[in-house]
């Protein structure tokens, strides 16, 4: 890997849902190619995120998207699985940055360089904002695929988050393979189906 004097922003999407992976983005932006409109992905419309996604990928010096599966979430817990997705996203980039900035208040342990956690960093650090957008769009697209694979749960609409419709589908259908079995609503549905 090549070491360069760059800052890598890292953020995740999908810590709270009852189903699907947790996804992390890692981005090193190119100062020579600024991207307008970067902010926390949750503050952008889906259309705006979808428009920024290819632009970030085209203009960034490098990026990575890492995943942790529902099985890994169940085995490790959501916090550790999120950290795993983050370290995978950084590793995929193929470049070791001088510093990693992670959105939030805690850091993965096994990072290849110095790092800082920044609360609400996706609002203040453009590289974290870009990572936030990549993670959110990639995860939403994955949930669209899972909606086709597991019809009836409404993944296309709620992306695996805990909604009344999702709760109702869990009661009717029971959990599927992409559910996080250790999450309380899913565990209750599993016990009720037993």
Q: Which two tokens stand for residue 118?
A: 């920044």
In a domain, 115, yes or no: yes
pLDDT (0 to 100) of residue 194:
72
> pLDDT class for 193, splitting at 50, 70, 90?
confident
Report whether 12 belongs to an annotated binding site: yes
Decide if pLDDT at 1 tops 70: no
Task: Quickly state the pLDDT bin for 2 (edges 50, 70, 90).
Answer: very low
Q: Is 153 exposed, middle or buried (0-12, 13-18, 19+ CB in 10 A)?
A: buried
The total number of structural domains that make up the chain: 1
Residue given tokens 């609360």 in the structure block:
119
Residue 20 has pLDDT above 50, yes or no: yes
Would residue 83 count as lying in a domain? yes
User: Is 140 annotated for ligand binding?
Assistant: no
> CA dihedral defined by 102, 103, 108, 113, rounded to 10 degrees?
10
pLDDT in tens, 101-148: 999 999 999 899 999 999 999 999 999 999 999 999 999 999 999 999
pLDDT category, 51, cuts 50, 70, 90? very high
**Does residue 184 belong to any structural domain of this protein?**
no
Q: Is residue 181 part of a domain?
A: no
Question: Domain with 27 in it: what CATH number?
Answer: 3.30.420.10
pLDDT at residue 192 greater than cutoff 90? no
The answer to whether residue 4 scores a pLDDT higher than 80 is no
The pLDDT, as a whole number, for residue 5 is 65
90-102: per-residue pLDDT in tens? 999 999 999 999 9
Is residue 35 situated within a structural domain? yes
CA distance 107 to 82: 10
Residues of the chain above pLDDT 70, percent: 97
Residue 183 included in any domain = no
**Phi, psi angle pair for 67, to nearest 5°:** -130, 150
- Its domain, for residue 51, covers 2-152
Which pLDDT value is given to residue 23? 98
Question: Has residue 173 got a pLDDT over 90?
Answer: yes
The mean pLDDT value of the chain amounts to: 95
Percent of the chain with pLDDT over 90: 94
Tracing tokens 């096994």 back to the chain, one arrives at 110
CA separation for the pair 156, 147 (Å, rounded): 6
Residue 32 in 3-state DSSP? coil
Instruction: Give me the residues paired with residue 117 across strands.
Output: 102
Please check if 36 is assigned to a binding site. no
Whether residue 131 lies inside any domain: the answer is yes
Tell me, yes or no, whether 172 lies in a domain. Answer: no
Tokens representing residue 37 in the block: 């409109």
| Whether the predicted pLDDT of 73 surpasses 70 | yes
Q: Are 152 and 138 in contact (CB under 8 A)?
A: no
């Amino acid at each position: 890997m090549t070491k360069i004097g760059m800052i890598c922003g890292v953020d995740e999407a999908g810590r709270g849902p009852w189903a699907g992976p947790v996804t992390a983005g890692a981005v090193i932006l190119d100062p020579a190619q600024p991207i307008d409109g970067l902010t926390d992905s949750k503050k952008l419309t889906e259309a705006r995120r979808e428009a920024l996604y290819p632009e970030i990928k085209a203009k960034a010096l490098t990026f990575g998207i890492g995943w942790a599966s529902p099985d890994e979430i169940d085995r490790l817990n959501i916090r550790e699985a999120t950290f795993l997705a983050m370290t995978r996203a950084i590793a995929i980039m193929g470049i070791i940055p001088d510093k990693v900035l992670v959105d939030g208040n805690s850091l993965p342990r096994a990072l290849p360089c110095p790092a800082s956690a920044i609360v609400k960093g996706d609002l203040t650090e453009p590289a974290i904002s870009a990572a936030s957008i990549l993670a959110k769009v990639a995860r939403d697209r994955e949930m669209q695929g899972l909606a086709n694979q597991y019809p009836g749960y409404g993944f296309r609409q709620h992306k695996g988050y805990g909604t009344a419709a999702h709760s109702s589908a869990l009661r009717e259908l029971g959990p599927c393979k992409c559910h996080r079995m250790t999450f309380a609503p899913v565990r209750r549905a599993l016990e009720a189906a037993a």
